[in-house]
Structure 1
Amino acid sequence: MTTWAQSLIRISNYEVETLQKRLAEISDRKAKTEMRLAMLEAEAEGEQDRARQDVDAAMMLRAYLNGWKQKKAAVQADVAAIEAEEEGARDALTSAFEELKKFEHVAETTRLNALLAAGKRETAAFDEMGLRRRAV
Structure 2
Amino acid sequence: MTRSHEPLIRLARFKVEELQKQMAELDRSRAALIGQIERLEASVPEEQAAAAQSKEGYVAYGSYAQAVIKRKENIRVSLDEVDVQANALRDRLSEAFTDLKKYELLEERRLARIEQSVRAAEQDELDEIAQIRHGRASH
TM-score by length of 2: 0.83
Could you report, residue by residue, the CA deviation over 1:102-130 in whole angstroms, capped at 9, with x for unpaired residues?
11111011100111122223333444455
Q: CA RMSD in A?
A: 2.2
Is 1:63 matched up with 2:66? Answer: no
Alignment-derived partner of residue 91 in structure 1: 91
Alignment-derived partner of residue 43 in structure 2: 43
Could you report, residue by residue, the CA deviation over 1:1-54 in whole angstroms, capped at 9, with x for unpaired residues?
x76311111111111111111111111111111111111112222221111112
Distance 1:110 1:40 in 2: 58
Distance 1:86 1:100 in 2: 20
Runs of at least 5 residues in structure 1 that lack an aligned partner in the other structure: none
Could you report, residue by residue, the CA deviation over 1:60-110 in whole angstroms, capped at 9, with x for unpaired residues?
222222222111100011111112222222232222122211111110111
Runs of at least 5 residues in structure 2 that lack an aligned partner in the other structure: none
Q: Summarize the Cα distance change of 1:81–1:122 in structure 2 as closer, same or farther, 3 Å threshold.
A: same
Is 1:118 matched up with 2:118? Answer: yes
Distance 1:3 1:103 in 2: 12
Counting matched residue pairs gives 135
Distance 2:3 2:84 in 1: 38
> What is the correspondence of 1:11-26 to structure 2 with a 5 Å cutoff?
11-26=11-26
Identical amino acids, percent of aligned pairs: 26
